[in-house]
Amino acid sequence: MTPFFFGEGQRRLFGVYDPAEGLNAKAPRAVVFCAPWGPEYTFSHGVFRRLALNLAAGGYHVLRFDYFGAGDSAGESTEADLEGWRTDIDSAIDELKSMAGALRVSLIGARIGAALAAEAAVRRVDIDRLVLWDPVVVGRSYLDELELKHAAWVNERTRYLPLPPADTPNRLCHPLPARIEQQMAAIDLAGLLTRLKQKILLVLSESRGTDAAALGTIANVIPNRLTLERVRDRPPWREDSPEFGGPMPVNALGRITAWMG
């Protein structure tokens, strides 16, 4: 495990590199993780670490990283936007290819990170496989979902204590500036999936909403390239007991590790 910073100028990004065990120098296999947004990333951080270790043990070079304005990377949360995160994913892919000596890279994306990973797979020619874990399918629906959860959180927290007004727009206490909200609203994964040429694993946790039905329809359209796995796990990006951590989705981790091979 090597934690390090990469990227150019003021856009330094924090990453953790797990080298492949049992190195295959002829054809190194590599995978970059594309993280969810805000609190969903906080809750699921440990799950991605576990998955990274599993894949490294299976012979993959793995890079997890924080987008600009998130985690330990440079920038403030209020400065982040999806356009920048797209370039961050490109930087991470190039960084891992350089570190591992790999020609192609697979992507594992979760929630908003899954949508961004799918975009990268359309944009680039060096993406091998794609894992989309509970992806955000329709950006507007995702924002509505965040707003509902946020309202519930505020309602619970103000049972006994008032909350002072916040200077910047936020959802679930993480800044969500208007710019990034507009960019999220424009996400349409369904239209994107049919343009992908890669093999795709679509992992859906239990208790998914209407977007799960939409994804099921897409799975029927491109059955040769898309494998749909419905897992009996609670989503790791939702807060669970103990507080500030999500559950460990053992079924999903097992399916992803097995599918990646």
Partner 1 sequence: MDGVSGTISERAVTFGLGDSLVGIITQASRPDPTLPVVVAINGGILVRSGQGRVYVSLARRLAALGYRMLRFDLSGIGDSLTRGDGLSPGNAAVDDIRLALDYFAAMGERVVLLGLCDGATLAAHRASLDRRVVGAMLIDPLIPRTARYRRLHLQQRLAHRTTWSELADGSHPLWRRLKMQVKGLTFSNSTTPPFDPNSPAVYAGLEAVYRGLVDNDVEVFALFTGGMQHRHCYREQLLDAFPAIDFGPRLRLEYFPSNDHHLEWPPHRVWLLDQITAWLQSAPFRDRPERELSDLSPRRNVQDM
167 is a site residue for partner 1 (CB under 8 A): yes
Sole binder of partner 1 in the list 26, 125, 165, 186 (CB under 8 A): 165
For residue 213, the SS3 value is helix
223 is a site residue for partner 1 (CB under 8 A): no
Q: Calculate the alpha carbon distances from 16 to 92, 110, 259 in Å.
A: 11, 17, 23
DSSP string, 113-134: HHHHHHHHHHH-S-EEEEEEES
Nearest Cα to 134, choosing from 237, 240, 63, 65?
237
Question: Taking contact as CB under 8 A, which single stretch among the options 4-12, 126-134, 182-190, 218-226 is the one that binds partner 1?
Answer: 4-12
Nearest Cα to 32, choosing from 4, 58, 61?
61
Residues 132 and 109: beta-carbon distance below 8 Å: yes
Q: How far is the CB of 149 from partner 1 (least distance, A)?
A: 13
Q: How far is the CB of 121 from partner 1 (least distance, A)?
A: 27
Question: Rule CB under 8 A: which of 174-193 touch partner 1?
Answer: 174-175
159 is a site residue for partner 1 (CB under 8 A): yes
157 is a site residue for partner 1 (CB under 8 A): yes
Alpha-carbon distance 217 to 11, whole Å? 39
Radius of gyration, CA atoms only, the chain: 18
72 is a site residue for partner 1 (CB under 8 A): yes
Question: Taking contact as CB under 8 A, which single stretch among the options 19-27, 95-103, 129-137, 158-166 is the one that binds partner 1?
Answer: 158-166
Helices 250-260, 38-57: inter-axial angle, 10-degree rounding:
50
Residues 46 and 253: beta-carbon distance below 8 Å: no
Phi, psi of 63 (to 5 degrees): -125, 120
70 is a site residue for partner 1 (CB under 8 A): yes
Sole binder of partner 1 in the list 162, 220, 224, 261 (CB under 8 A): 162
12 is a site residue for partner 1 (CB under 8 A): yes
54 vs 170, which CB is nearer to partner 1?
170
Query: Cα 222–227–232 angle (5° rounding)?
Result: 135
168 vs 182, which CB is nearer to partner 1?
168
Q: Which residues contact 48 (CB under 8 A, 6 or more apart)?
A: 33, 35, 64, 110
244 is a site residue for partner 1 (CB under 8 A): yes
155 is a site residue for partner 1 (CB under 8 A): no
13 vs 127, which CB is nearer to partner 1?
13
Sole binder of partner 1 in the list 57, 74, 185, 212 (CB under 8 A): 74
Q: How far is the CB of 154 from partner 1 (least distance, A)?
A: 9
**Binding footprint of partner 1 on the chain (CB under 8 A):** 1-5, 10, 12-14, 16, 42, 45-46, 49, 70-77, 153, 157, 159-168, 170, 172-175, 242-245
